A and B are shown apart, each in its own frame.
Chain A
Amino acid sequence: MTTATAASTTKMALGATKVSLSWLNGWTIGTVIIAMIAITPIVTVIFISFTPSDDIWAHLVSTVLPLYISTTLLLMIGVGIGTLVIGVGTAWLVSMCRFPGKSMFEWALLLPMAMPAYVIAYLYTDILEYAGPIQTMLRDMFGWTTKREYWFPEIRSLGGAISMMTLVLYPYVYLLSRAAFMEQSICVLEASRVLGRGPVQSFFSVALPLARPAIIIGISLVLMEALNDFGTVDFFAVSTFTLGIYDVWLNMGNVAGAAQLATVLLLFVMALALAERFARRKKRFHHTTSKYKALPGYQLEGRARTVAVIACALPVIFGFVLPASVLTSYSFIHYKTAMSTEFLGYAFNSFMLSSVAAVLALAIGIFMAYGVRLHNEPLLKVMVRLASLGYAVPGSVLAVGVLVTLGSVDNGIDGFMRQTFGISTGLLLSGTIAAVTFGYLVRFLALAFGSVEASLGKVTPSMDGASRSLGHGAMSTLRRVHLPMIRGSILTASMMVFVDCMKELPLTVILRPFNFHTLATFVHQYASDEQLGEASLAALSIVGFGILPVIVLSLAITRSRPGHNKEEKA
């Protein structure tokens, strides 16, 4: 008896909105071409996996593969549950309840997002390891002298990795579920209240099921990040599947074997995605009404109020305030190294690259999501799904896919030009900013496409029908109807892509031009040798530059909610 199923009664066959006679039109062709370009590096990785790879599987299966798999699954389960509880819980609190500090928490809960996972892992190790201040203080207090006299959680462990990733990844779930909660029509919630359900029951039986597509996308983004993380698990020496891929690639010098492992990882992600689609195959999540008004805001009192404040404060403190303070204290010690003259240039590079990539990713994401909406062709659907897989491939492996793709294109053009005109064009794309941007797009398209698609899915097809029957074309309908309705999700998605690009490391390192640094690569050269202190100011700037748009956009998202600041809108 969820509203999700109720909503399905108004389901309209999308085919009814088709105006064109054939699906072979600009949208479809464009979508297919873009998807094919985005897929190429991934296909390249799969292609590499078909080259000989010794007996790598026999070796892995008999030694570490079971461990890789169990560790990875535990990591996914841990991070999945952690981000689900924190992300959805806090999103519900700040969207639907009123308590002290709510308007601050709305944006503050996003702050940990700007913190790269490997940086927070490094900082917490300093704080929590045997030699760190906490354990030293405990030893002084209780007179312990050796490690064997007491128990303390080991930070460099699977549990540590789960905690670190949960702290920096929950904002994805928070962002997407908050956007979903805010896009929910108040009517369904009022109906639920009228039917006698309290805030908690309404949450579980109405709001949560309706927000399911958005939450699922948030969780799947988180899981993909956790799955392909290298920095944190390498630092903690937690044997995940991804660490295994790098081991086979770099220590055994076996690129083909690494590509095979990466392909298996991809198949696993695809299977998960299919399972989820199957589970909600019959359900639709459109809003049946366009009646919006300001959200009610349950006024929390007494203990509930305290719990809400603490629940929202803890993730912000542990995910941002504490690590950022430690970083700040380091940057006072090391400001001389950090304040190099080139520093502003690095910040500029990071900012420009991330902005360009965010805008492009969004444009492409909207184009593809709308293309699929217009023409619900199976081929098209498969293509866009595949195009979003870049997010599931470990960064450096994807970078190799991009390298080989661009190298082939460049050398192909060069060979052709030499043969035909006797001139050499050299490398046109490889080792340029364009290559880095292309890498970012391949990697982060899933963020843009996923959030736009989820949001578009909530716009009932009757809207398309109405607009089209009033004589508006596909483009005009997109511009006048859909884009205004999903504005919040578009901003959310652009923010996620931007922040992820600011933090991005492996693609930038491998694809960049000569003498080119971003804040992240600058931090990396020190962090790779466990000298993060030297680069603390740059690390702090990644966070700082990442936060600015986060806050600005967060405010915009609040304003973008249909019905915000209006009593009622028909």
Chain B
Amino acid sequence: MTFDFWTNIIEGQVMLSLLLWASILIVVMYIARQPAHQIILVLARSLRNALRLMAQSVMLAEKQLRSRNREVLMAQGQEHAERFIEREFQRVETLVNRDLSGYPSLQRDLKEQITRIDEDYVQSSEVPPKPPEWLKAIEAVANIPDNGSPVVAKILNDIHTTLKKALEKDLQEYRLANRNRHGLLKKMMPYWRSLTSSLNSVERKITGLEQRSIIIDSQMQSYEDIRNHGAYAERMLSSSSLTQFFISGLALCLAIIGMYVNFQLVALPMEEMVGAASYLGSSNIRASDISALFIISIEVILGLFLMDAIGITRLFPVIHLLDDHKRKMIFWIMLSFLFIFASIEASLAYMRDMLASDREALSQLLTGVEVAEPPLRWIPSLGQMIMGFILPFVLTFVAIPLESFIHSSRTVSGLFIVWVLHMLVVFIRFIANLIFGIGRMLISFYDLIIFIPLKIESSFKQKNDDKKEEKISGALTHQQETDEGK
């Protein structure tokens, strides 16, 4: 049925034909008004309910994911706190082993020093000089009245002289003894100082331990908070995780730039080894590029193993669980390999410089331009070699941001998915309400199309209602009059 069929139902009268069809449509729509309204409403409600159900299930998934994120976050935080506490205990152990292992010898030294000081003290004690035995005899003689006798006076003078001499001698002996005592006390001085120094050293060590114990206490507090799934701990861990994600992401970006520089150093000389025209399968990827990428990847992997062997990262639990001897062995093996690769890369960098020079010379020959050899040409060559040697070692440190990135990305990706699910819930709810609104709007639009018959219907209804009201009021009036007549 073409458009002409609809417009030519009355021959040659397009407008009239369309009007006829419109009238038929309006009549049909008016007749089917109630069921049409019901269909639209049921459809809109069903869609809204279905979408609400969908939103609820997405919300449930979001809730579960949120809970999983929380668990992951707490587990990571717990692991981190355990590692921190473990490290602090290792430091305490080192302190105890280093400082307090010498404690018995220190105690022995202190005892020896105290014994010496004690001996010197005993020796330096002052013994008061005994009074001479004959002092009483002299006193008795001195009390003898002289009665002017020259003999007695002479005897007394002799006694006085003798006594004076004896006293001078005693005084000298006493001074000598005192000097000896002072000498002994002077000898005690270094022992005192040594003793003070030993005690200060003990004090310092004890203070260091005390500080470590304060840090451990603080970490234990955080650890307990994490174990109790505290809200504060969750907020802190979440914030820390986001920070870690962005910082490690930035560090990885820088590392990738470093890898690109490394790649540029290696790619050209690799063409010389594997050929510039070798490609990977039917693709456009050069085999030399893949080889260069492979060398750099190997260096990065060696760096990861090296960092795990030292214990800085824990990307490979197998390495971490090995005993110290084996880990040390792995460390030396990885370091040797890295050294070999760094040497290879340095030589490749030198070869790159040679090839670039050769290419430049050919280019000059082809263009017919003669350019003099620049002075100090060896500096860039040497620089490239050094870079080629150092970069593999620098790339080993990629392991640290990589580990942080992997750990934090679990949390961050979880948070991102939660956000996406939340937005999805909002969107589904919006769509549900929109569909219901559209359903109601369609009903109104439906009524708008058939507004003429609806208007006619309402005016008929109005008239009928008026008539009924008149009848009722007439009957009531008649009843009232009858009642009044009675």
Tell whether A and B belong to one assembly: no
> Which residues on A are within 8 Å of B, measured CB to CB?
none
